[in-house]
Chains A and B, each alone.
Chain A
Amino acid sequence: MELSVQPTRADHRIAWLTALAITIHIAESALPNPLPGVKPGLANVVTIAVLCLYGWRMAAWVSLLRVLVGSLLLGTFLSPTFVLSLTGALCSITTLGAAHLLGARLPGAGFGPVGFSLLAAMAHVAGQFYCAYWLFIPHAALFTLLPVLMSMAVVLGVINGIITRTMLQRVTP
């Protein structure tokens, strides 16, 4: 029996965008990070852009595939780093889904890239933090880090959002 899969246009688009996100993810992992636990998360620019352009389903695919393939390429698959990365991605994509649904019901334009990026960054840090607390370091002292990590999430979330907005202004006529 022959099994053939016909990739659709959407599948190709997911593959291309995921490849772009993975490239950014790998490039970013080569950057030194002076603060442990803090990284720019530039690959999420792609996730947010996809969310704004093609909707939530495609953004979820791109985000989760990027975490999976990125971890295979960096050799962190199934390591604690991967678990934290996946938790962060799941939390932010869930939050983005909720924000996307909510935005459609709100009067006005709903959320823009900056709002999405900020929500995603904060959900990512919150999810990852609780995961680190429950699975790896169940010590109350860890919570001292949370305000710092959250501050960085807000700053970097807004910066990534502005990058996404600028990028979208250039790609969409």
Chain B
Amino acid sequence: MTRADIVVLVLALALLPMLYVKFWHHGAAGDEVRIMVDGKTYETVSLKHDRRVTVHGALGDSVLEIKHGAVRFIASPCPSKYCIHSGWLHDGGEFTACLPNRVSIEVTGARARYDAINF
């Protein structure tokens, strides 16, 4: 390899981590989760403490799990379980909902990852 080859290779290898940081970096971690039922705030829970929250919705109880600063649905009385399949929410602005049970959760934080989401 010539000297120019080595320079190009080094620059290319330096570019790759920058690309990963630029395009794979997510928003800031959230602080709290806002739980809403029927569009009205039901409870706001800190993500700092690991716990489970049971939310009474239109169909029955949805269960949320809070662990290591993230939150997810672990049970909900809906047929499609989209809420459970959305998995863990970590970052400010992340949002998911169980529409049949009228329960939605939104992670709040200093920086929101999204301005608006529609499904």
In addition to A112-B2, A158-B9, 17 A-B residue pairs with Cβ atoms within 8 Å of each other are A103-B4, A108-B2, A109-B4, A110-B2, A111-B5, A111-B8, A112-B1, A114-B1, A115-B9, A118-B5, A118-B8, A118-B12, A119-B8, A147-B24, A150-B16, A150-B19, A154-B16
Q: Which residues of A (92-147) have their CB < 8 Å from a CB of B?
A: 103, 106, 108-112, 114-115, 118-119, 122, 143-144, 146-147
Q: Does more than half of chain A's interface fall in helix, strand or loop, or is it mixed? A: helix
* Interchain nearest-CB distance for A49 vs B (Å): 15
Closest to B5 in A: A115
- CB of B15 within 8 A of CB of A109, answer no
Central interface residue in B2, B5, B8, B13, by most chain A CB within 10 Å: B5
- CB of B23 within 8 A of CB of A143, answer yes
* Interchain nearest-CB distance for B10 vs A (Å): 11
Q: Does more than half of chain B's interface fall in helix, strand or loop, or is it mixed? A: helix
Inter-chain contacts of A151 with B (CB < 8 A)? 16
A: interface residue count bin: 20 to 34
Inter-chain contacts of A150 with B (CB < 8 A)? 15-16, 19
B: interface residue count bin: 10 to 19
B68 part of interface (Cβ distance < 8 Å): no
Binding site for B on A (CB under 8 A): 103, 106, 108-112, 114-115, 118-119, 122, 143-144, 146-147, 150-151, 154, 157-158, 161
B20 part of interface (Cβ distance < 8 Å): yes
Q: CA A130 – CA B24 in complex, angstroms?
A: 18
A-B contact pairs, 11 of them (CB 8 A): A108-B2, A108-B3, A109-B2, A111-B2, A115-B2, A115-B8, A118-B9, A144-B23, A146-B23, A147-B23, A151-B16
